[in-house]
Chains A and B, each alone.
Chain A
Amino acid sequence: MNIQIALRTGLRRDAYAKANVSLPPVGRRKVGNLEENSVNLDAERIVVLMSAISEKRDVGAFEILYRHFYPRVRSYMVRMTRGNRVLAEELAQETMMRVWNKASLFDGSKAQASTWIFTIARNQMIDSVRRGVRPTFDPNDPAFVPDEFEAADTKIEREQSAAALGQAMTTLKGNYAEVLRLSFFEGLTHSSIAEKLNIPIGTVKSRIRLACEKLRNALQDEIK
């Protein structure tokens, strides 16, 4: 474990050095006549960028992050708005503004950046598309019951579990992964999923339960 930590810290420092290199950002290259101006970042680099954004308000780092996440958030919003591209772009931009404004609230030991950005996008979507409310608990509420098993090095575990989750997802059978994707990335209710796939709603529920069980087991095996 100690060796692993040292290794990861080393990697992080290296990635940090890379992030401090000034613009132009990676990935701005000509592909035929099309300027492909988005970037693809690995998890390690994202961690570094997030801390540069929250601690130093580094606009250059945010631009790199933006080019990675904006297309992804927009794609999510296109699905959530049932193909309304104009609205989707507006919502994706609002989501990324919130990421910039709330960066100091991001805690890398509690969640991965992509998870945190997903939750911001989801809440934005519920606000604007559904015009709904998403009630949430408040960790500062005196009635809130904290977890007494807060591990000391959760940040390392978080990274491991993110990698393990990706690994576990690839081992899920196609029809299990599909139900999860329709729920999380198409925003379909379980009854709409049943309709779309032409299967009973009970099957949707049991696939979700089994998939969750399998993913949890894979994660627990990983973090022993």
Chain B
Amino acid sequence: MRETAQRASGRNQMIEHHLDDDILSQYSAGTLTEGWSIAVASHLALCPACRSKVDMLDSLGGYFLEADDGRASDVSKSWEAVKARIDAGEVDNVVPLKVRSVPDRIYPEPLKRYIEAAGGLRWKRLGSGAAQMLIPTGDATTTVRLLKIPAGQPVPEHSHGGLELTLVLDGSFSDEVATFGRGDIEMADDNLTHQPKADLDKDCICLAVTDAPLRFKSRFMRLIQPLLGI
């Protein structure tokens, strides 16, 4: 049964590299910070298999909610207040949908709206022909960026130790043991040392989330930090 399901979803998407239960459960429980969640939710947009895992985890939340009756007291008072709001005809503010400007289907939601909030795609050249775009978020604990690696070129070193999530959006990259194509997500920790390369047929675009770079106390170090790429 399980094997069939796995084969089936493999045929469906060809996604071979997924998120693990550890990070999915943090996303479902609401304890994962914004930066990591952008990569998780963007993978989920492309991966029905991980979405169904999140469904199971959400229903675990429902189970715990249901299991705790909260030793009820004084529900009537709060009900009266809510009833008054309903009778007053209070409705939710509906936020109108913005017109989408990022043109193609490479960037799934929620990543797309972050790119738009940053004023659209703006690539900055790194050395070696690669380019990056930093994605601003409200999460000071992570760095979120897009990377564009020319076909056949090595993926630039952008880890600072700790966890790193890399979601492939276009093209593919490979190391000695595996190939990562659209929708695949690599979860790397600081134990992993490898130098993947973008495959030859196409430039590779990825979303990479890492722990935020070290905050230096010295103003001088803060100034040259971007130059050093740390």
Contacts and interface: CB of A to CB of B under 8 A. Distances in A.
Contact of A224 (B1, B25, B44, B71): B1
Contacts of A147: 12, 48, 51-52
Contact of A189 (B26, B65, B75, B110): B26
Contacts of A142: 105
Given A72-B68, A144-B108, A101 B21 contact: no
Contacts of B109: 136-138, 141, 143-144
A112 B69 CA distance: 17
Contact of A72 (B66, B79, B81, B138): B66
Interface residues of A, number: 85
A57 to B, nearest CB: 9
Interface residues on B, range: 35 or more
Contact of A126 (B5, B30, B91): B30
Given A38-B72, A100-B82, A185-B65, 17 more contacts: A70-B79, A75-B70, A76-B65, A93-B78, A111-B62, A115-B61, A135-B38, A137-B44, A137-B108, A138-B45, A149-B48, A162-B63, A180-B60, A183-B26, A208-B25, A216-B53, A224-B1
A206 to B, nearest CB: 9
A93 B82 CA distance: 7
Contact of B61 (A74, A122, A169): A122
B60 A209 contact: no
B64 A181 contact: yes
Contacts of B34: 132-135
Given A137-B110, A138-B45, A141-B109, A185 B68 contact: yes
Contacts of B25: 180, 183-184, 208, 212
Interface string B186-202: 00000000000000000
A40 interface: yes
Contacts, number: 224
Given A67-B75, A136-B110, A209-B21, A141 B45 contact: yes
B20 A144 contact: no
A122 B25 CA distance: 13
Contacts of B83: 59, 63
A208 B22 contact: yes
Nearest to A129: B30
B140 to A, nearest CB: 11
26 contacts: A37-B72, A38-B70, A75-B69, A75-B70, A93-B81, A97-B85, A101-B92, A111-B62, A114-B63, A115-B59, A121-B65, A123-B30, A133-B139, A135-B41, A136-B110, A141-B109, A141-B112, A144-B46, A145-B48, A146-B48, A147-B12, A184-B61, A184-B64, A212-B57, A215-B60, A219-B56
